[in-house]
Amino acid sequence: MNDLTRQGVVRLRPWLVFGTIPLLLFSNACMIGPKYQRPAFPAPPAFKEELPAGWKEAQPNDGALRGKWWTVYNDPRLDALEDQVSISNQNVLIADAQLREAKAAIRIARAGLFPAVTTAPSATRSGSGAASGVGQFYTIPIDLTYQIDIWGSIRRGVAANSATAQASAAQLENARLLYQAELAADYFQIQGLDAARLLLDATVSSYQKSVQLTQNRFDGGVASMGDVALAQTQLETARAQLVEVGVQRAQFEHAIAVLTGKPPSDLSIPALPNQSPPPASSVGIPSALLERRPDVAAAERQVAAANEQIGIAKAAFYPSLAFSASAGLQTTAILDLFTWPSRFWSVGPQLAETLFDAGKRHAQVKLTQAAYDATVANYRETVLMAFQQVEDSLAQLRILSEEAEITNQAVKFAQQSLEISTEQYTGGLTNYLQVITAQTSALQNQLTAVDILARRKVASVSLVQALGGGWDASQLPSSRDLLR
């Protein structure tokens, strides 16, 4: 064994070796870079739009929607479909996989806080033209390296990955909410179409009687063939509308199948003709919206991650300190490999500092600061969009409720007009064109009433989605949870 190995590479003084221990303990106290603060965004004291009839403004700890928000509609079929979104929707599964990726990234970053221990046993044979001939050399080394996190760049990297993982968790919840709301909206569209089909079925039956009436009057010589043609035209028009309803229904049914992770051929939804007004619920105060929207939470966590990157970039201006140690066995004779004289060791710290990089680190800091400003702007834009969506949904619900009352009155009077026109035509007091006009008006108003009720249901789903469903920021996983 040569002198260099026997001396442990360098004659390292004990005070230099053990003097690094206090430095390792002290290193956890230094953190270079800005301390994170959530971006300020003043929320209005109340929403601008009036609440729909029956809805109320919830207090901060009031009973807002929780968990399975769709159960407020009290529809078991809808409940069964919604339960499949979280486990079978492919886009939700993509978001879930991205969350698992983000969790793994935390563990990768966190590994930098601990020493790395490696080994690379070797056995070599070498030779030359000299008289010594062939030589053999056996080595079993164990190497330890440790990057001391004096300025907190590794810890900030862990924090950045944790914030990114929390953003991924919020994005997963946002994906669930998005596709659950889309399914509910499609479901209520089918419900409206089934109600329209029921109405059109009844209308076709009524129009068939009208055709028979005009035919009988024509046969009796008291009506013209034109009346028969008008009645037949009205009947075929209603039949065409009935067919169109079937086309639209099939498309919504196929969309629901995909949302539940199934091919369209595997899902059939029975007729849902019974419509009901949307249920009343609670609407939180605007400031609570910032805690209830998963997309807002995701944007805020992205700001936190960007803030940590600034600290990492600034830490690059300071020297780095690494600690390394190596020990093992080496010999030229394999039988002596595990003997005490074959041992070797080395230990010592290494200090490194960049003296010149042509402004690279300064540019890196500016880059991370610009990226941080972008995430702040994205966060505030997300908050603004959240307020807009709530206001839009509130306005839509209120206006549609008012429109429904007016349309119901129009349906009532149109039906009266049709009855009067039919009696007058039967009595020979008017022509059939007046009956056709009354029939068209009655059917159009009835279809409008059905459509408005379906739109009110869809608008209520949009409001629930705009309010964050049954989610709130307290459900974000903690740093400890992300490591599980």
pLDDT band at 18 (very low <50, low <70, confident <90, very high): very low
pLDDT digit string (tens) for 31-80? 888 999 999 888 888 888 877 666 666 654 444 556 789 999 999 999 99
pLDDT score recorded for residue 4: 35
What burial letters (b/e) apply to 25-64, b meaning 16+ CB within 10 Å? eebeeebbbeebeebebeeeeebebebbeebeebeeeeeb
Whole-angstrom distance, CA of residue 40 vs CA of residue 109: 29
- As separate numbers, helices (DSSP H) first and strands (DSSP E) second, the chain gives 12, 7
Average pLDDT over residues 225-246: 93
Question: In this predicted model, which residue has the larger pLDDT, 431 or 253?
Answer: 253
- Alpha carbon 11 to chain centroid, angstroms: 59
Q: Is 135 left (phi over 0), alpha (psi -120 to 50) or beta?
A: beta
pLDDT at position 2 over 60: no
Average pLDDT over residues 216-225: 86
**Domains detected in the chain:** 1-30+117-148+319-352 (2.20.200.10), 35-114+151-317+359-482 (1.20.1600.10)
pLDDT at position 129 over 70: no
Residue with tokens 């065409």: 240
pLDDT score recorded for residue 348: 87
Nearest to 112 by CA among 82, 73, 148: 148
pLDDT digit string (tens) for 361-417? 999 999 999 999 999 999 999 999 999 999 999 999 999 999 999 999 999 999 999
Helices (H), 19-75: 20-26
